[in-house]
């Protein structure tokens, strides 16, 4: 049966050269092939078992297919922390259909790549390859997501990799601060770290991995997304192979915001600190307001290696200190909560002044100190950033996948731009007010001698 399906794929591919070649004729009524993704919106189907299939046929020579799953560190419990991290690293282990060796060599042989990208709420397994080899890599992708075996010796050999992965990630102080921030801000679910805690390295068992996969990799929490592939192909594949685990699985716990602070005293001369309050839920109208507020305050330099003078936060902090610093607004949305605040990097002696100056700037916006021109500039910056992020096929796949997974629909770029435009200055001020009045959480690392505590802010 599988061989006949593969044969069907091959037959379908034979006719591409006839379909894609646009008819060039001098008459004005010639049919034009629309090639831009703008006019070619993704097709989305939702199967009865809950699986969402989305595909965008943009006739590119390389295809990119992803399986997005509602699984991540938030679905761990205190007894199996770190399972999602190991799962991330375990994508090339032996499966029921193919061995680990064959996955690696097979994907190499066709020049493709398999990668896993995981956030606290979702995991995305994606493969990319030339169009002709899609069936081969599709087979590996399906094996990895639906039928992993987690052989005890392979899992045991993989555990040291957890340490290496974590060490590489923590070289960047921001990662550590953000992990602490989530641990401080939430009581459960979203508080779970993205990287395996040290005491769990070497203790994660294949049974825990299997359990995690059984509970979370269910059809109703998955989306199969493809770019550069026909919708009917994806649909066939999904109906045939992704039907194994139906049901909703174990629902994750609702994230409860608590607001706390975690300080990590190191000897670093640079202090990294984040001060946040609860923000907006993914996809809500508030989320757009918070995003615009983020750009009003300043969300990172727009000119590479520039001095970011236009951002409000930078202007405020520049008055407080002459030492080098970097301040930007921090905004993240999850399916049932969000965080909004400021992220500060400053020299240790001036940390207190910079943090206070940044928070004063947000207070100023909350008190109405923002003009319509500021808001329009911010909207343009936000729109530009969003549109540029979906320019690459990787960004586009991620965007289509995340949206299909969480809402089962797709917002075209023009609709997204409209939503951003519909945010009014009052919305932005309200968002700032919500931050100022909300219970704060804080995470800081570095030489914290001059870094104030939350109750001193």
Partner 1 sequence: AGGGGLLEKIRKWYYNLAGFNKLGLMRDDTLHEDDDVKEALKRLPEHLYNERVFRIKRALDLSLKHQILPKDQWVKYEEDRPYLEPYLKEVIRERQEREAWNKK
Nearer to partner 1, 114 or 332 (CB): 114
Nearer to partner 1, 102 or 394 (CB): 102
Nearer to partner 1, 102 or 117 (CB): 102
Shortest CB 163 distance to partner 1, Å? 21
Give bridge partners of residue 64 from the DSSP assignment: 128, 227
Task: Tell me, rounded to whole angstroms, the distance of Cα 95 from its chain centroid.
Answer: 26
Shortest CB 103 distance to partner 1, Å? 12
Give bridge partners of residue 68 from the DSSP assignment: 124, 223
In three-state secondary structure terms, 250 is: coil
In three-state secondary structure terms, 177 is: helix
Which of 22, 152, 160, 248 touches partner 1 (CB under 8 A)?
152
Shortest CB 205 distance to partner 1, Å? 12
Nearer to partner 1, 15 or 153 (CB): 153
Sheet (strand 338-347) strand order: 261-265, 440-446, 270-278, 338-347, 325-333
Contact between 67 and 77 under an 8 Å Cβ cutoff? The reply is: no
Tokens standing for residue 204: 């994660």
Footprint of partner 1 on residues 307-326 (CB under 8 A)?
A: none
Nearer to partner 1, 159 or 430 (CB): 159
Give the contact letters, 71-110, x = binds to partner 1 (CB under 8 A), - = no: ----------------------------x-xx--x-----
* Pairing, β 52-56 against β 222-227: parallel
Contact between 321 and 354 under an 8 Å Cβ cutoff? The reply is: yes
Shortest CB 105 distance to partner 1, Å? 5
Cα distances (Å, whole numbers) of residue 413 to 40, 224, 282, 388, 391: 11, 21, 17, 11, 11
Contact between 261 and 289 under an 8 Å Cβ cutoff? The reply is: no
Footprint of partner 1 on residues 404-443 (CB under 8 A)?
A: none
Nearer to partner 1, 105 or 319 (CB): 105
Number of neighbouring beta carbons within 10 Å of residue 187: 13
Contact between 368 and 428 under an 8 Å Cβ cutoff? The reply is: no
Number of residues in contact with partner 1 under rule CB under 8 A? 7
Shortest CB 160 distance to partner 1, Å? 16
Nearer to partner 1, 144 or 366 (CB): 144
* Pairing, β 261-265 against β 123-130: unpaired
Shortest CB 153 distance to partner 1, Å? 5
Nearer to partner 1, 102 or 131 (CB): 102
In three-state secondary structure terms, 273 is: strand
Sign of CA dihedral 287, 288, 292, 295: positive
199 binds partner 1 (CB under 8 A): no
Which of 13, 46, 151, 231 touches partner 1 (CB under 8 A)?
151
Which range in 146-154, 188-196, 266-274, 312-320 contacts partner 1 by CB under 8 A?
A: 146-154
Shortest CB 109 distance to partner 1, Å? 9
Residues that bind partner 1 (CB under 8 A): 99, 101-102, 105, 151-153
């Amino acid at each position: 049966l599988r061989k006949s399906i593969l044969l069907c794929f091959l037959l379908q591919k034979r006719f591409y050269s006839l379909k894609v070649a646009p008819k060039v004729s001098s008459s004005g009524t010639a049919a034009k092939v629309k090639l831009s993704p703008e006019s070619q919106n993704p097709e989305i189907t939702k199967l009865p078992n809950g699986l969402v299939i989305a595909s965008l046929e943009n006739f590119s020579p390389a295809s990119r297919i992803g399986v997005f799953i509602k699984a991540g560190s938030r679905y761990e419990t205190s007894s199996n922390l770190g399972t999602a991290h190991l799962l991330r690293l375990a994508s090339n282990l032996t499966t029921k259909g193919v061995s680990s060796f064959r996955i690696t060599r097979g994907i190499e042989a066709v020049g493709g790549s398999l990668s896993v990208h995981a956030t606290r709420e979702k995991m995305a397994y994606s493969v990319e390859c030339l169009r002709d080899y899609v069936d081969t890599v599709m087979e590996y992708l399906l094996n990895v997501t639906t039928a992993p075996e987690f052989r005890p010796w392979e899992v045991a050999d993989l555990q040291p990799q957890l340490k290496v992965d974590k060490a590489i990630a923590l070289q960047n102080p921001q990662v550590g601060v953000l992990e602490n921030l989530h641990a401080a801000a939430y009581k459960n679910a979203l508080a779970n770290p993205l990287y395996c805690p040290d005491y769990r390295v070497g203790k994660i068992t294949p049974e825990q991995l299997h359990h995690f996969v059984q509970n979370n990799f269910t059809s109703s929490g998955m989306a199969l997304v493809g770019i550069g592939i026909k919708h009917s192909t994806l649909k066939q594949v999904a109906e045939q192979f992704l039907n194994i685990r139906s049901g909703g699985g174990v629902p994750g716990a609702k994230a409860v915001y608590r607001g706390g602070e975690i300080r990590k005293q190191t000897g670093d001369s640079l202090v990294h600190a984040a001060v946040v309050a609860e923000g907006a839920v993914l996809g809500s109208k508030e989320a757009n307001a918070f995003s615009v507020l983020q750009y009003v305050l300043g969300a990172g330099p727009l000119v590479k290696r520039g001095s970011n003078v236009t951002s409000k936060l930078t202007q405020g902090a520049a008055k407080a200190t002459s030492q080098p610093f970097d301040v930007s607004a921090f905004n993240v949305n999850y399916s049932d909560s969000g965080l909004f605040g400021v992220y500060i990097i400053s020299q240790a002696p001036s940390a207190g002044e910079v943090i206070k100056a940044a928070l004063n700037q947000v207070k100023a916006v909350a008190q109405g100190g923002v003009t319509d021109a500021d808001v329009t500039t911010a909207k343009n910056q936000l729109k530009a950033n969003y549109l540029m992020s979906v320019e690459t096929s990787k960004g586009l796949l991620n965007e289509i996948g995340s949206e299909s997974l969480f809402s089962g629909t797709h917002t075209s770029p023009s609709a997204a731009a409209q939503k951003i435009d519909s945010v009014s200055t009052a919305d932005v001020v309200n968002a700032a007010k919500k931050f100022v009045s909300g219970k704060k959480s804080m995470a800081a690392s570095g030489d914290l001698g001059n870094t104030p505590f939350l109750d001193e802010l």
